[in-house]
Structure formats: structure tokens, C-alpha cells
Amino acid sequence: MIRIRSVLFVLAALMLGAAPALAADAVYPPGSRIGIAPPEGTVVSKSFFGFEDAESNVAIVLVTLPPEAYADLDKTVGADSLKRQGLTLESREALTLPTGKAFLVIGRAEIDKVKLRKWILLASTPALTALATAQIPDTAKTAYPDKALRTALTSLAVRATVPVEEQLSLLPFKVSELAGFHVGGVVPGRAVMLSDAAVGTPQLPGAGAEPHIYVAISPGAPGQASERETFAREAFATVPNIKEVRITTSEPLRIGGQPGHQIIAEAKHPASGANVTVVQWLRFGGGGHLQMVGLAKTDAWTESYARFRTVRDGIEPR
């Protein structure tokens, strides 16, 4: 699909006049801190953060980058770097948006024999760098004229937070109990991190020794009950950022009325060297499995384990 390849193209490239609309006009795709007043004819995409007109192969993609990314990209995004990605630069201009400094790049490309224009807006804010890209095939330029695209992109706004309920709505399962944790991060359609760590700190499994639990849904499940323990041990071996692991418990149990398996282990946190205890629960069903991994310092384990169980028992299918 042109749209999918275009999104990948924009991200790969980065690894290398009209008055803006008011922030109140911005529409925020669910889970996104970035919003715009989308051009007429587009709707919120269900497959990426942004807006699309699937029939016309028009896509506007919104991406959040670290705040320090703006300075680097301001220096490196130019004719030469874009040319290496198959984009011919038409123009680049500096802008000042309500969010702060920004620049807008417009170029041309041909993907799968389809000629199109690409708009790339990068905006600096104290909290993040906002990237908005628009792909407009030549066949859609009448419906999406330059003025409409410029107005939409320069209406870019950033909200301080994404409501917890909105973040959790992106998951394929319901999380009805947070047990005092806050949402550290969500991978739409797949996973959530709940943590005691301060907001803004890294939120990957095992990233810190503060109590946290990671819940993810994945395809695949053992065909026979006798294979579940081996499957569970193999899944546990993928848990990152723990060392000197010693499994103390590995046993089957039922979770939410479905077959499951529990592993508890003692380990050390690689960064701090603290003694930690880790629990993994797998819940099997529907040809897939739900993996829940909780980690806490061993001296805080009793309280943390009770909270992890509260989260576990509050997870339901949608």
C-alpha cells in the first residue's frame, strides 16, 4: 500500500503564510498528544496516529519525538538528506507556531509509479518534538489544495497529557484495576506498562527497580497442557534487564477462569544491583496468550505482589 510505505519512508528519512488555527480546533487521535484541525475529507485513522482518506491514498501521520530531536533534525533535514530517501525538495521555510519554533518542508516523490507531494512539519515544544507528515497523490491535489494542507499542518497543537481512560481504550483487553499504579506507557493494540516510577522516566520492562507490571497480548499458545511450562519458561527468558535469575516457583494455575502458568524468580537489577523478585503470569486462550510480568525490590515484594495480583485479576477481554 502506498500509505504504509509512505509512513515508513518518512520515519526512515528522519532517522537520518496562513494563520494557524486555534488550539481549540485541534482533533487529537486517541492516545496522541499531538493534534491538528484535519482537512475536510479525512477521518481519524484506525491504524496509525493521524488522519486519512483511504480512497484517495491521503494520509497525515502524527509522531512524537524527544524534545532534543528538533535541533538535530533542524540541522540535517535538507535537500541532500531527503534526496537520499527519494524525495526532491521543493521548499523549506521556518515558522513560528503557538507551540514554538517549527519548519515546513515540501517535496515530491514517486512511489510505486504514483507521483505525490509530501509535506513534513517539525515543531519544537518544551516537552516533545512534534512531527506531522502529509502525503497527497497528484490525483488528489484538487480535493486537497496547498492552502488546506498548510492550514491543517500549522494548526498543530500539543496537549499536556493523554487521559488514562483514553490510553487504556487503545488496548485489546480491559484493565479495570490499576492498584495504585499509573500508566507508564501504552503500545496500542498490544501492551501496557503500569508503574510507580516518576512520570517521564523510562518505562520498559525492567527499566527501573520501582514496582511495575507489564501486560502484553501475543499470538501463540502451546497445543497441549504438558507443554505450558516449557512455553512459560521460554517466555520468561525474554524478560529484559534482570540478571542472576533463580526461578523459585513454576506451576500451573487458572487465571480468570482460563488455564495459566505462574513463574516467580529472584534476580538482581542490572543498573542498581538491587535484589528484585519477578513474577510472570501467562494466561492462555483463543490461540494466544496474555503475558503479565511484575517486578519489585525483594524487600517490598509482599505488598507489591498483592498489587500485581489485583491488576492481574482485573484484566478482562474486550
Interval 6-28: pLDDT, tens: 433 444 444 333 334 344 489 99
Cell of 221: 499458545
State the alpha helices, DSSP H only, in 1-145.
2-15, 69-76, 79-83
Q: Which of 293, 289, 291 is nearest to 305 (CA)?
A: 293
pLDDT digits (tens, 9 = 90+) for 46-59: 889 999 999 999 99
pLDDT digits (tens, 9 = 90+) for 303-312: 999 999 999 9
Domains 2-158 and 164-317 share a fold: yes
pLDDT digits (tens, 9 = 90+) for 203-247: 444 445 789 999 999 999 998 999 999 999 999 999 998 999 999
Q: Which has the higher per-residue pLDDT, 124 or 207? A: 124
Cell of 230: 516449557
Per-residue pLDDT at 286: 85
Average pLDDT over residues 99-117: 94
Q: How many CB atoms lie within 10 A of CB 130?
A: 29
CA 46 and chain centroid, separation: 14
Is 154 exposed, middle or buried (CB count within 10 Å of its CB: 0-12, 13-18, 19+)? buried
**Hey, is 132 helix, strand or coil?**
strand
**What residues contact residue 164 under an 8 Å CB cut-off, 6+ apart?**
178, 182, 183
Is 279 exposed, middle or buried (CB count within 10 Å of its CB: 0-12, 13-18, 19+)? buried
Mean predicted lDDT score pLDDT of the chain? 88
Q: Measure the CA–CA gap between 153 and 68, rounded to whole angstroms.
A: 21
- 164-317: CATH class: alpha beta
Q: Measure the CA–CA gap between 147 and 145, rounded to whole angstroms.
A: 6
Q: Which of 314, 285, 36, 1 is nearest to 137 (CA)?
A: 1
Fold of 2-158: Protein Transport Mog1p; Chain A (3.40.1000)
Q: Where does the pLDDT of residue 199 fall: very low under 50, low under 70, confident under 90, or very high at 90 and above?
A: low
What's the whole-model pTM score?
0.70
Angle formed at CA 189 by CA 226 and CA 261, multiple of 5 degrees:
20
Q: Measure the CA–CA gap between 300 and 47, rounded to whole angstroms.
A: 40
Judging by DSSP bridges, how do beta strands 288-297 and 191-195 pair with one another? unpaired
Domain boundaries defined on the chain: 2-158, 164-317
Q: Measure the CA–CA gap between 283 and 215, rounded to whole angstroms.
A: 11
Of the given ranges (142-146, 149-153, 250-254, 283-287), which has the lowest mean pLDDT?
283-287
Average pLDDT over residues 121-125: 96
Average pLDDT over residues 135-150: 96
Per-residue pLDDT at 37: 96
